[in-house]
Structure 1
Amino acid sequence: MLRLDNASRAYDWGSTADIPRFMGLEPGETPVAEIWMGTHPLGPSTIQGPDRTMSLDEVAGELPFMFKILAADRPLSLQVHPSEAMAQAGFAAEEAAGVPLESPTRTYKDPHHKPEMAYALTTFDTLVGFRPTAEILRVLNGIDTPFAQSLAEDLHAAPGFPGIVRLVERLLTEPVDPGDIARVVACCRTLVDQGIDVKRAYVTATEIAEHYPDDIGVIISLALNRLTLQPGEAAFLGTGIIHAHLRGMCLEVMAASDNVLRAGLTTKALDPEGLVKCLDRGMSRLARVAPEPFGFSTDVFSPDVREFALAVSQCSRAEPEGTLLPTARQRIVVCTGGEVELVNESGERLKLGRGDAVYAGPDDGEVRVVGTGEVAQAYTPTAETVAGELIDLVPPYSERQLKRRRRGRGPSGR
């Protein structure tokens, strides 16, 4: 087992306090947005070797997953992660064009797709996936401005997922008067003050506008589902799913990629055409991940992707021999609370406090955690791993309702 030293990212949306406190440090003036744990070339973890500091990939090879601690004080960029085919093509094109890997204008940092999962450490708010057409229309019809009504007319004429994508394309590619955005926000604020909202769409727009008042992402947010995760809950974001985290602290586990196509709510380079292309290939599905139990003390969040799963274990004196972690050839374990010891199959022991991270490889065999606290393990699931159930925000229609919808009568038949 190897203790990890991990890279941090000081993005402007990060928190000056949350991650430092989590790591047992004093808050500073610089926002800390992310801690990266893994072997990604843009920020590999390191270990202390016998005579030098080594990159984790020198010991572990290239891990297929990346593990992060994320803390947001304000909204992240409106973004989508590409499919594997898009990532491979985009990376090859930028390599051929000679765009430096560290260039701020570069989109594809590697040739990999990036499905990911967020596990809430605090109350965590995010926007993920599109609302149903009818719900977007209810949102827009409640906003009494010419701009909002023109968007509603467009969507009413071309409903469904393709129509929503075309609406987003219009917003991203056609010039929009900042005054139109301001008038929409003002109307949303008035509605919220009157106690009127449609599944938190209006309050979300006003909150985002406090940070990005003239950004078209404020308008696009009206079409997105707002999801609040409580500590211990998780959500899966597949490739092609539009999203924007709003605030809170979470663990993220993902395929080992840093490919992000952005279209708003950021000072970084935008790729609206790439984002729309990605949406055409993606699904507007949002899913929580329902955990499966492993033993008495562990919840396994496995969204049925080949690269990663997450196991969260609470250990206590009730298990004096320790809590057995799910089997994995390679794993990264981070302590999220308390003080614990990891014990491998050879009896090697390593103490961890909150924020400490460890890599355990094939030679470590079974790993147990002893003490009173909590650890989270990111790993590549095996064939025996039970995939967690994905739960849609919108309940599935019954067959009778589907037949009515196919006839154009709507769910109620009216």
Structure 2
Amino acid sequence: MDRLVNTVRPYAWGSVTAIPELLGREATGEPQAELWMGAHPGSPSRVDRGQGLRSLAALIAANPQAELGAAGVAKFGPELPFLLKVLAAGTPLSIQAHPDLAQARAGFAEEEARGVPVDAPHRNYRDANHKPELICALGDFEGLCGFRAPVETADLLQSLGVASLAPLIELLRTKPEAEALSQALATILTMTGDGASATVAEVAAAVERAAETEPGGQFAGYTYAAREFPGDTGLLAALLLNYVHLRSGEALYLGAGVPHAYLRGLGIEILANSDNVLRGGLTPKHVDVPELLRVVIFRSGKPEVLRPVADADGEELYPVPIDEFRLSRFALGTTDRRVAGLAPQILLCTEGTARLTAADGSTLILARGESAFLPATGTGTVLSGPGATVFRATVTL
């Protein structure tokens, strides 16, 4: 068992207080957006095995089978296949989508062949992996996820009373679904000039009025985007998407090609070990409209809110359709819980104090916000600590 020393990413959209409060630290006054736990080369966790702090990524690379297990290496290769984060959104994140595995591999190879530096601001593909993800709310969490049915979006836009939206509304009402959604998004993301600015300003004002008339109604979530990104056509793109309000413990799974944006709140995010993002607005970062339109799946549907399913051992699992990551949690009481050790895993304590006891009797105490890496040793670990909540990130073998 290794206590993890993790890096906080200070993106501009991050909350100033949420991650420091979780970690029991003083806020610095600067945004703290993501706490990374894992072996992604961008910000790998560090561990101390008696020789000072070393990168978890380097330790895994030195002996993959000892850290990940023979079965894990055979199935996923010699790298930890997931990345665990605490995500703290103080303001909206960009509207974005992630590529599937074939798209990521092709995009990465193409940019490599062109000699685009991997850390270049205009680079789309920073690795050759896909990035399915799961977000689990710690408290109230708001976001946008997937396309709303085109006719429903047409009704929503009609209610704003903005005359310049008429062509967009007509398109959404009359075209087949995939064509309506793709043409609407392309139209919005390529709007330029004074006319575009005037439309966005009118829509922002109308959204604010609607939200004031019906506090907590369907426009409430979109006001964050209107306020934080004045003049950004991403507001119009946001209105194509479903607004979702998660309660504590609820989650969303986001597969390849699903457009989404997190608006505000604190959550646990687990994803395939990738940093590939195609953005479409509400951001000062690089936006590649043609590539985003190539990656996005133009299909509408209501987001499925996931709730954990408990087994007989008290492990509450969030089911997902992939094997690269598996997220569950334990709400510990007076009964100890045992986790198997056949696969690599990260344990994160989000409430109370948890005790980890290995098969050899060694222990590790995790306070709120602390985490540990458990190599795939084949032996189990016992969790205890009445009142503690522990999230478990691992893989499905």
TM (norm. structure 1) is 0.87
Question: Aligned equivalents of 2:286 and 2:315: distance in 1?
Answer: 40
- 2:391 maps to a residue whose letter is A
User: Residue in 1 aligned with 2:45?
Assistant: 45
Question: Per the alignment, in what secondary structure is the counterpart of residue 32 of structure 1?
Answer: coil
Structure 1 contact 263–275 (Cα < 8 Å) conserved:
yes
Which residue number corresponds to residue 93 of structure 1? 110
Amino acid in the other structure paired with 1:15: S
Aligned to 2:12: 12
| Cα separation, partners in 2 of 1:73 and 1:132, compared to 1, 3 Å | same
Match of 2:349 among 306, 326, 335: 335
Aligned equivalent of 1:190: 209
CA deviation string 1:51-73 (max 9, x = no partner): 24221123334100110000011
The 1-side partners of 2:257 and 2:104 are apart by 11
Whole-angstrom CA distance in 1 between matches of 2:124 and 2:376: 34
- SS of 2:120's equivalent in the other structure is coil
- Listed one character per residue, the Cα deviations across residues 28-49 of structure 1 (whole Å, up to 9, x for unaligned) are 1111000111111111111113
In structure 2, the residue corresponding to 1:355 is in which secondary structure?
coil
Unaligned segments of structure 1, at least 5 residues: 383-414
Of residues 82-91 and 42-51 in structure 1, the stretch that sits farther from structure 2 once superposed is 42-51
Q: Does 1:263 align with 2:277?
A: no
Q: C-alpha deviations, 1:216-271, integer Å up to 9, x for none?
A: 11111111111111111111011100000000000000100000001111111111
Structure-1 residue corresponding to 2:57: 57
Cα distance in 2 between the residues matched to 1:283 and 1:136:
11
Task: Give the alignment's Cα RMSD to 1 decimal.
Answer: 1.8
Residues 88 and 166 (structure 1), Cα distance of their counterparts in 2 relative to 1, 3 Å cut: same
Query: Aligned letter for 1:74?
Result: T
Residues 5 and 46, structure 1, Cα contact 8 Å, conserved in 2 = yes
Q: In the superposition, relative to structure 1, how do residues 294 and 214 fare at CA in structure 2: closer, same or farther (>3 Å)? A: same
Which residue of 130, 136, 155 maps to 2:153? 136
Q: Distance in 2 between matches of 1:328 and 1:131?
A: 41
Q: In structure 2, how many angstroms separate the alpha carbons of the residues matched to 1:177 and 1:355?
A: 44
Tell me, in whole angstroms, the C-alpha distance in 2 between the residues paired with 1:364 and 1:274: 43
Q: Which residue of 2 aligns with 1:390?
A: none
Point out the more displaced range, 253-262 or 161-170.
Answer: 161-170
d(CA) in 2 for partners of 1:326 and 1:315?
17
Cα distance in 2 for partners of 1:154, 1:263 equals 20
State the shift of 1:177 in Å.
1.9
Cα separation, partners in 2 of 1:230 and 1:84, compared to 1, 3 Å: same
Aligned equivalents of 1:326, 1:136: Cα separation in 2: 47
Asked if structure 1 preserves the Cα contact closer than 8 Å seen for 2:182 and 2:298, the reply is no
**Matched position secondary structure for 2:58:** helix
TM-superposed CA distance for 1:297, in Å, is 2.8
Contact 1:313 1:325 in 2 (8 A): no
What residue is the counterpart of 1:75 in the other structure?
92
Residue type of the alignment partner of 1:378: A
TM-score normalised by the chain length of structure 2: 0.91
Matches within 5 A, 1:173-252: 173-175=190-192, 177-195=196-214, 200=218, 202-252=219-269
Question: Hey, what's the Cα distance between the residues in 1 that align with 2:90 and 2:191?
Answer: 30
In 1, Cα distance between equivalents of 2:300 and 2:272: 18
> Is the 1:339–1:352 Cα contact (8 Å) retained in structure 2?
yes
Shift of 1:346: 2.5
Conserved? CA contact 2:344–2:376, under 8 Å: yes
* Partner in structure 2 of residue 325 of structure 1: 339
Letter in 2 for 1:138: D
For residues 63 and 364 of structure 1, what CA distance do their matches in structure 2 show? 16
Q: Using the aligned pairs only, state the percent identity.
A: 34
Render the CA deviation track for 1:140-197: whole Å, top value 9, x for unaligned: 1112112222210111221413311211011112325211111112222233333399
Residue pair 2:2, 2:49 contacting (<8 A) in 1 also:
no
**Aligned AA (2:212):** D
Q: Could you tell me which of 380, 399, 404 is aligned with 2:395?
A: 380
CA deviation string 1:197-231 (max 9, x = no partner)? 9x61x333322111001111111111111111111
Within the alignment, does 1:28 sit opposite 2:45 as a pair?
no
